[in-house]
Structure 1
Amino acid sequence: MQTAVFAGGCFWGVDAVFRHVKGVVTVESGYTGGSGESASYEQVSSGTTGHAEAVRVSFDPVQVSYRQLLQVFFGVAHDPTQLNRQGPDVGSQYRSAIFYGDGTQQQAAAEAIQRLDAARGGGAPIVTQVAPLRQFYPAEAYHQNYLALHPAQPYIVIHDLPKLGKLRQRFPDLYR
């Protein structure tokens, strides 16, 4: 098993996307990228901790590669051109970020960003932060697997369910 950590706005939708990727074994919503010895939703929502809402993805690299997870992250899970926001959520806690565990992940993330920027041909630049993973604080239990537990919640219907449709459409071989 390997681990990847991504931040792309509210963790509910990012969590749901990666739960539907073949080869992903577990997904855990949480907080990372800031300071402090702990993190909670209240603390992180204040915007003062430097933490981002993120997901920790455990995956089987025989079934899905880290590069494929990066493609899903950039192509489906969020908009990597929005700085410190995603949709209606605003603040550094909703930033686009990849928290790498080793040099291989760091290099793969940097290369993916370079490819995306080149492919955009002068469009809005990719603003995704690439930073080392230092700590990961699991989010409260009620945030875990939120979409599956609250599929009719208006935020989920408007902002997150479309991401699953996009995943199925763009990456049919990875969708489960």
Structure 2
Amino acid sequence: MLFTKLSALAALQLLSLPTANAQTNNNASAPGSTTTTTVPSYTCNPGYPVSPAEQSIIFTNFLRKFYLEKDVYRVGREHILLDAINHNPNVNGDRDASLAWVAPLIAEWNVTITNTGLADNVGWSHVKVEGPGMGRYTVAVDIWRFEGSCIAEHWDALQVAPPANRTNPLELI
């Protein structure tokens, strides 16, 4: 998998787009017309296969709702399987246990998405997290495995930023 800054910038631009919501548009401009257009909501539908393009939209919407809108419970209901596996050592249980653990934390965090990628049913994000208990800041890499339109598994790795007077002047982000 090769991800460039250009693909990260494109993903960040997508994050600013409106959500793809389920909408039904009746053609009101044509009198007597019964034509209806439905736009898919791109939410978790177990067993429903999706194209890579659809999965990309799903992942982008997930990241926006989770990190930027911080609507953790909604994003869980819409995108994560109930029996999803979470490898975070602080959580023991299913989707609801994971959401209950992260919701109060993420509400206090300022999250900056720096890189994202999606290939072969695996999405990842590289984010800077600032807030209580995060030191100067903490860098997180989250990895999500998809089954079609649903997130089925999650891993994460965290690194607290070293002090400002460290030997290596490069920042983690």
Normalised by the shorter chain, which TM-score bucket? under 0.3
Bigger proportion of residues as helix: 1
RCO higher in structure (CA 8 A, sep ≥6) = 1
